[in-house]
Amino acid sequence: MQTSLSDKIYHDLKWSLIVGTYAPGDRISIRTQAEALGVSMMPVREALKRLASERVLQTSAKKSFQVAALDPKRISNLLFVRSSLEGIATELATPKLTASQLDRILELAVLMDEDIDRQDVPGYLARNYSFHFSIYSAADNAELVSLIEGLWAQTGPFIAAGARVSGMSGDWRETHRSIVDALRVRDSDLARRLIEQDISWGITLYRRMLEQQQAAQ
């Protein structure tokens, strides 16, 4: 029972990181989480330790847990790896997607347009996850999808922070519609390139931030 409770807490915390509930540098208290959930500290501690072992969270000498502080080089590197792996997953998935899956992906793209109009960052990030992983799951490669999800958890707080600072671009709307079109005509190469393009804004944002930091030194 304790293992299943720890698993649930782990997945809930991971989801919160993916959709940017936590900001870069936020500390996550074992006691506060346990009190909020009405559980003992043990399953919370185990869930946080698991996230730390996956490099999703960091630990300090005092055994506290926190989201990594802003490091533009690390984030741009993580997003570069994400774009590569997600491009591969998309290429594998394109010929395997069913008509109903494609309809759902289009529906999510439409809903994300509405999120952009409202500048609803949390709603957009949640639907963006569903959009992307509806594609990647069709690749039928659980190991690849697991790697990608781990990277989303590591980058989630920074993607959310970037979207809140720079706003959600109208270009995202066009890119997602173009991805759907490429998937429908089974153009694996184009779909892969568009997915990589979709992630490139984050790479550009944090590389530019790194350049600014270096110029200021």
Section 174-192 average pLDDT: 97
Identity of the highest mean pLDDT range in 3-12, 188-197, 206-215? 188-197
Distance CA 109, CA 190 (A): 17
Instruction: Report DSSP letters for 80-114, one per residue.
Output: HHHHHHHHHHHHHHGGG--HHHHHHHHHHHHHHHH
pLDDT digits (tens, 9 = 90+) for 125-140: 999 999 999 999 999 9
pLDDT the model gives residue 216: 87
pLDDT the model gives residue 175: 93
Distance CA 31, CA 47 (A): 13
pLDDT the model gives residue 152: 97
Residues 6+ apart with CB under 8 A from 134: 101, 104, 105, 108
66 strand-pairing partners: 27, 58
Banded model confidence at residue 1, pLDDT cuts 50, 70, 90: very low
pLDDT digits (tens, 9 = 90+) for 46-101: 999 999 999 999 997 667 899 999 999 999 999 999 999 999 999 999 999 999 99
Whether pLDDT at 204 is above 80: yes
Average pLDDT, the chain: 93
59 strand-pairing partners: 65
DSSP 3-state of 115: helix
Q: Cα–Cα distances in Å, from 201 out to 50, 194, 195? A: 30, 12, 11
